Amino acid sequence: MKRILLTSLLFSPLAQAEITLEQLKVPEGFELSYFAEDVETARQLARSESGTVFSGSFSAKKVYALRDTDNDGKADKRWLLMENLRAPTGIAYRDGDLYVADINKIIRFKDIDKNLDKPSSEVVYDQFPTDGHHGWKFLQFNKSGQLIVPVGAPCNICDADENYSKIFSLDLASQQVKVIASGVRNSVGFDFHPQTNELWFSDNGRDMMGDDIPPCEINKVSFEGEHFGYPYFHGDDIADPEFGQGKKASDFSPPVLNLGAHVAPLGIHFYRGKQFPEQYQQQLLVAEHGSWNRSEKSGYRVMLATVEDSKITGYQPVITGFMQEETTFGRPVAFLEMPDGSILISDDFAHKIYRLTYSGL
């Protein structure tokens, strides 16, 4: 019962403080606009070759398609592709088909751009755990065509079996599943480094250890099956009070970056475009979704991590103002880079998709 209540509080679409573009602060030279409004609990985004933008959702339980037909930077046409799902948060597009993760299964919409008015779907995999707790997903194909799928822990803190707390690769043709990373509590965002192709991912730290520990994390996978510590250690060397006894921090990989406790990093994205200034190019954008379990709220912002030689050397704000004086107005979730170098950013609290552009100082 508690889990259901908590989820409803975190993602409720009920009336709330309305966000405005004026309250969101961006660096000089940048501009923020709405790509789409009233996209209920918008989560991960994807785009087809023809320009259709797709959005998953959380408590709305829907999958949307959006299109900017007059090229003014704002969607003017939309379709509801599917509804009454559990939590279709993760989506990916490849070779004309749209893939949607709904807790335990992967759904495919074939030739989606040709069938927006009458979409049909099929389940192409259904063997992931059915747990709702940390069961929502983020999807992306790697260069080899495998679908990368995280499966979070079915709890706040527990030593679950081999089906949980991992990032998997799924070969849809053979149905073969392999472990990419272990000891991952709840990753809802990852990306591949544009030069090294290493998988970087965000991870949400455990709750109920206090306001300021343990940190949320940004991690980098250096070898297949690498273990990142959960549930035994958090951050660099914080032993878990329930599961850390008899374990050594040196047996697990530390984060590339320790973030603030409970800031809840979700989507991360290496910026590959040329529109933004040089200091943004091939650097890592991070969506801090924001805390729900801290006496003073933290997160609620979009950040830029400066990456040099696979190490993070700086961390600075890009968009702030989603939370003001302890009032939540928005919660950034995921990024989608557009062909012109602008960035779309979903917000599952304000039900918006923003467009971040740069026009110069």
DSSP H or E segment with residue 9: helix 2-11
The whole-number pLDDT of residue 6 equals 39
Domain total of the chain = 1
234: tokens are: 């958090």
**Nearest-angstrom CA–CA distance, 142 and 192:** 8
pLDDT at 1 over 90: no
The CATH number assigned to the domain holding 348 equals 2.120.10.30
Residue 17: pLDDT band by 50, 70, 90 thresholds?
confident
Matching residue, tokens 């924001």: 290
Host domain of residue 62: 2-358
pLDDT at 12 over 50: no
Mean pLDDT of the region 176-193:
98
215: tokens are: 């940190």
**Nearest-angstrom CA–CA distance, 335 and 305:** 14
Task: List, in sequence order, every beta strand (DSSP E) within 103-175.
Answer: 105-109, 122-125, 140-141, 147-151, 166-171
- CA-to-CA dists, residue 330 to 38, 43, 248, angstroms: 13, 13, 39
Question: Hey, is 51 helix, strand or coil?
Answer: coil
Report the DSSP pairing between strands 226-227 and 176-182: parallel
pLDDT per residue over 324-333, tens digit each?
A: 999 999 999 9
Residues 6+ positions from 84 with CB-CB distance below 8 Å: 61
User: Residues 355, 309: contact at Cβ < 8 Å?
Assistant: no
The whole-number pLDDT of residue 361 equals 65
pLDDT at 218 over 60: yes
pLDDT per residue over 139-155, tens digit each?
A: 999 999 999 999 999 99
